[in-house]
Amino acid sequence: MEKYLINPNHKISKINKDIYGHFSEHLGRCIYEGIYVGENSLIPNVNGMRIDVVNALKDMGIPVLRWPGGCFADEYHWKDGIGEKSSRKKMINTHWGGVVEDNSFGTHEYFELCRQLGCDAYINGNVGSGTVREMNEWVEYMTFDGVSPMAELRKKNGSEKPWKVKYFGVGNESWGCGGNMDPEYYGCLYKRYNTYVRNYDSNNKIKRIACGANVDDYHWTREVMDKVKHHAQGISLHYYTIPGDTWEHKGSATEFDTKEYYKTVAKAYRIDELINNHIAVMDSVNPQKWVNLVVDEWGTWYDVEPGTNPGFLYQQNTMRDAMVAALTLNIFNKHSDRIMMANIAQTVNVLQAMILTDAENMVLTPTYYVFKMFKEHQDNMLLGSFITTDIIDSKEAKRSCPQLIESASIDENGIIYSTVVNVSDKKTAKIKCQIADRKVESIKAYVLSGDIHDRNDFDNADVVKIKEFSNFRQLKDGFTATLPACSVVKFIIE
Ligand code: AHR
């Protein structure tokens, strides 16, 4: 029996709801088809946005959406995406699949999407191939309410009032697709571009995100932090879980054995080490902790589904992905003192998606259900908690991962939410939870579980879904429970 302790007297930090954020790029069928089908589509839509997808994302609790990229951001020229649709430029999306980008989804459409979703905006600006003036004018266009050429242009295009931009990314992957820069050079460039990302509205102080490191590039974090510490509120980190050892063989999303399963899970768990190390570097440069960490790209990355465009990054999603999502979100919760936002890649039809679409059909993935289960953590206070657990070694990953990974939070009414993941493919886990200084009145619990390969697809959309969980016994000051193998269980404790 593993011991699980939750201490409601130890409120550690607020879990910023934006940790549960998402990412949508002009890539494959994420924006076009997946979210935006246009006003004239036969697929039911409001102002071009799919009603089914918007409703599902709202129900899941999407707090913030990053757009327009990714690598696409550093090739995106925002003026191509405003004005009469028929006269918007058509071009090739050279980065992703070589398809025609007709710019029918642009700034106005993005803010309409955020309005329908009820979520905040995270815009990623173009440093790689854009000008300072272009970035300056985009921010003016989006946020200025006074008399100015860009405010006039926005009004002419149908939006009288400006929008709110909560976060603005100054470049993306500037070490790679965003310009192949050195960190010292990017850091200087950041300061220059960022100067002209103006706060036009005193009620909209934009949080600026500097482009941070890939995986374990601590040198990048150190050098960029040194330059931007007075000028940024966030610095990013990108980390993808790729089971394969080469870029050409990332592994299949659906065909994998137990060894590959544990390799994936152990690689996903590495994010804990990466967060600790990057934060240590950030703090060594800036002990005042002015800058927070933003994990604005994370998730699994496999070989594309056979027969699909390799540039579209379309992959299926199984209970393995649910385990990766659940353990990662528990880790983010535990680091909520320094993680301001995170954005899983990507919302629909790309990489570790929440939703897959095929024409008018839609499937909710196991990952979707994890986000839905965890949504009550948003804006709660993280509680001190600890669980004893076996450690699972993966020789293939040369890493290990705890069998049980948990986090617990409390809302303003004193209700405790605990999410416990059991990553074992076969073994159930017996736990005994004790909650300090608390007389437990009632407990409700929900579970997502299955075989590691279980998935939802268009013929069988309900294989994996959240169910009520009853395999627990309430105690005076806690509970005992038996967690199924490959599961995440949420306990709601009053
Ligand atoms: O999410 C897919 C791509 O991965 C993004 O465009 C890029 O930023 C990263 O390399």
- Is 488's pLDDT higher than 90? yes
| pLDDT tens track for 96-117 | 999 999 999 999 999 999 999 9
**CA 249 → CA 27, 170, 306, 395, 413, distances in Å?**
21, 32, 13, 18, 49
Q: Output the residue whose Cα is nearest ligand 1's atom 7.
A: 70
Question: Cis (ω within 30 of 0) for the bond into 346?
Answer: yes
Q: pTM (2 decimals)? A: 0.97
- Say what the pLDDT of residue 368 is: 99
- Say what the pLDDT of residue 169 is: 98
Q: How confident is the model at residue 286 (pLDDT cuts 50, 70, 90)?
A: very high
- Ligand 1 center to 313 CA (angstroms): 10
* Mean pLDDT across 137-156: 97
**CA 448 → CA 34, 151, 420, distances in Å?**
25, 48, 11
Q: Which atom of ligand 1 is nearest to the CA of 173?
A: 8
Q: What is the mean pLDDT of the chain?
A: 97
**Nearest-angstrom CA–CA distance, 436 and 417:** 14
- Is 124's pLDDT higher than 90? yes
- Give the helix/strand (H/E) hosting 227: helix 218-228
**Nearest-angstrom CA–CA distance, 1 and 206:** 48
* Mean pLDDT across 27-55: 98
- What is the token pair recorded at 158? 């149908």
- Is 207's pLDDT higher than 90? yes
Q: How confident is the model at residue 59 (pLDDT cuts 50, 70, 90)?
A: very high
Residue from 270, 275, 279, 372 nearest 324 by CA: 270
- Ligand 1 center to 311 CA (angstroms): 11
- Is 484's pLDDT higher than 90? yes
**Nearest-angstrom CA–CA distance, 303 and 125:** 29
Q: How confident is the model at residue 493 (pLDDT cuts 50, 70, 90)?
A: very high
Q: What is the DSSP string of 373-407?
A: HHGGGTTPEEEEEEE---EEEETTTTEEEESEEEE
- Is 334's pLDDT higher than 90? yes
Q: Is 183 in the pocket of ligand 1 (CB under 6 A)?
A: no
Residue from 25, 109, 173, 223 carrying the catalytic annotation? 173
- Say what the pLDDT of residue 218 is: 98
- Is 201's pLDDT higher than 90? no
Q: Which of 238, 247, 313 to mutate to test the pocket of ligand 1 (most atoms within 8 A of CB)?
A: 238
Strand partners, 363: 356
**CA 139 → CA 46, 196, 208, 225, 352, distances in Å?**
26, 9, 12, 24, 30
Crossing angle (nearest 10°) for helices 183-195 and 132-143: 40
